[in-house]
Amino acid sequence: MITRRLLLSSLALAPGFTPLALAQAPAPAAAGPMPVVATFSILADLVRAIGAERVAVTSLVGVDSDAHAYAPSPADARTIAGAKLVFVNGLGFEGWINRLIRSSGTRAKVITASTGVVALKAEDDHGHGHGHGHGHSHGENDPHAWQNALFVKTYVRTIRDALVAADPAGAALFTGNAAAYSASLDALDAEIKAAVARIPAERRRILTTHDAFQYFQKAYGIAFVALRGVASDAEPSARDLGQIIRQIKQGRITAIFMENITDPRAMQRIASETGVRVGGKLYSDALSAADGPASTYLDMMRHNIGQISGALAQA
């Protein structure tokens, strides 16, 4: 085992070594990375991006999985019991989390990552709902705030501050990573806006499986018609399906998209009845596996706008 004294003496012999270089090196994590929990894969990715090697992040809801319909296991309670921090999205997204935290007996600090975000309401007041009882599982707010890249800067600040408070020795690392990630979010936001600007205005209207893109719609000007409400497990009625098929035949919807977390059968039926183009798969509430096209939040947003642009730009 390399002792600190041995490490110092070997560093002192290294060419170009100065004591200042050692002073600037980040302090080692006391006993390995800090164990933290995030409720779902997108949030886990953000925590990893800021915490880097000083955190060991466990995501309760895995990739390609639906947090709306998640049923926690006893293993999840054990994971939370061993964590120092638990990051949740909030805005009613994880209806199951408070019960799980209570049953785990954890002493972890619970951080609501969306704190400070100006939430949109989950009612049918944004022009594309179909009366699916938006908010049955979420209360008043639409929880999908990460679909606006600039809102994620608020998540990043909240994550940074929580990590600094829990692990002050890593403050410089967390602050630097947060600043770099925020700059990436500014670049991503500009990229999405530029892509939307290239789509003819009359074509910026698509159908998705559940109502997860209201923040994207408001920020970027793509109109989303949702087959289901904010909760992905609400089934569309025959009347809703008929209404959507009519809109497609009238040319008001130019492409339809599957989501990685929902059953594709209703969408496939609509596609076969209308002949409308299936624009591909969007990632709404969960990342893809590591070898997929949306294994990080930044990749997910780039994949989604790429799919949307590709489908809508074709007349």
**What's the pLDDT tens digit per position in 248-261?**
888 778 888 888 86
Helix (H/G/I), strand (E/B), else coil: 52? helix
Whether 282 maps to a domain, the answer reads yes
Strand spans (E) along the chain: 34-40, 55-61, 85-88, 109-112, 205-208, 223-226, 255-259, 278-282
82-105: average pLDDT: 95
Residue 139 pLDDT level (bands cut at 50, 70, 90): low
> What is the CA 249 to chain-centroid distance, rounded?
33
pLDDT band at 234 (very low <50, low <70, confident <90, very high): low
Of 184, 206, 224, at which residue does a domain stop?
184
Domain count, the chain: 2
In our burial notation (b when 16+ CB lie closer than 10 A, e otherwise), range 52-78 reads: bebbbbebbbebbbbbbebebeeebbe
Beta strands in 247-302 (DSSP E): 255-259, 278-282
Same domain, 151 and 200: no
Instruction: Say whether both 174 and 250 belong to one domain.
Output: no
Mean pLDDT computed over 212-223: 94
Residue 88 structural domain: 34-184
> Do 229 and 175 have their domain in common?
no
Q: What are phi and psi of 138, to 5 degrees?
A: -120, -5
pLDDT at 256: 86
pLDDT at 123: 56
More confident position, 255 or 304: 304
Whether residue 39 is predicted with pLDDT greater than 80 in this model: the reply is yes
State the pTM of this model. 0.82
Q: Kindly state the percentage of the chain with pLDDT values over 70.
A: 81
Q: Is residue 23 part of a domain?
A: no
Give the residue from 141, 161, 184 where a domain finishes: 184
Co-location of 176 and 217 in the same domain: no
Comparison of pLDDT for 76 and 228, the residue scoring more: 76
Residues 210, 230: contact at Cβ < 8 Å?
Answer: yes
To the nearest whole percent, how much of the chain has pLDDT over 90? 60
On whether both 40 and 180 belong to a single domain, the answer is yes
The whole-angstrom separation of Cα 46 and Cα 281 is 22
**Residue 189 is encoded by which pair of tokens?**
């936001």
219 and 169 together in one domain: no
In this model, does residue 218 exceed pLDDT 80?
Answer: yes
Average pLDDT over residues 258-276: 80
Same domain, 131 and 173: yes
> Is residue 17 a part of any domain in this protein?
no
Check whether residue 218 and residue 180 sit in a common domain: no
Q: Residue 189 domain-assigned? A: no
Report the relative pairing of strands 34-40 and 255-259 from DSSP bridges.
Answer: unpaired
pLDDT of residue 35: 98
Mean pLDDT of the chain: 84
- Say how far apart CA 99 and CA 89 lie, in whole Å: 15
**Is 19 part of a structural domain of the chain?**
no
> What local confidence, expressed as pLDDT, does residue 235 receive?
64
pLDDT at 12 over 50: no
What's the Cα-to-Cα distance from 67 to each of 63, 78, 90, 93, 249, rounded to whole Å? 10, 19, 12, 8, 33
Q: Give the separation between CA 265 and CA 227, rounded to whole angstroms.
A: 12
Minimum mean pLDDT range among 126-135, 158-167, 232-241, 300-309: 126-135
Which pLDDT score, from 0 to 100, does residue 221 have? 96
- Strand 278-282 to 255-259 pairing: parallel
Q: How far apart are CA 119 and CA 142, in angstroms?
A: 7
Residues 173 and 205 in one domain: no
**Is 22 domain-assigned?**
no
Question: What is residue 121's DSSP assignment?
Answer: B
Mean pLDDT of 81-85: 97
Q: How many residues does the chain have?
A: 315
Same domain, 163 and 215: no
**Based on the domain organization, do 72 and 165 belong to the same domain?**
yes
Whether 140 is in a domain gets the answer yes
124 burial (CB, 10 Å; 0-12 / 13-18 / 19+) is middle
Smallest Cα–Cα separation from 155: which of 184, 109, 108, 116? Answer: 116
Residue type at 65 in one-letter notation = S
- pLDDT-derived band at 233, boundaries 50, 70, 90: low
154-168, 214-228, 253-267: the lowest-pLDDT one: 253-267
Higher pLDDT, 209 or 236: 209
Residue 269: alpha-carbon gap to chain centroid: 28
Q: What is the CATH number of the domain that holds 120?
A: 3.40.50.1980
Task: Single out the residue in 132, 164, 184 at which a domain terminates.
Answer: 184
Asked if residue 233 and residue 115 are part of one domain, the reply reads no
Answer yes or no: is pLDDT of 84 > 90: yes
The answer to whether residue 26 sits within a structural domain is no
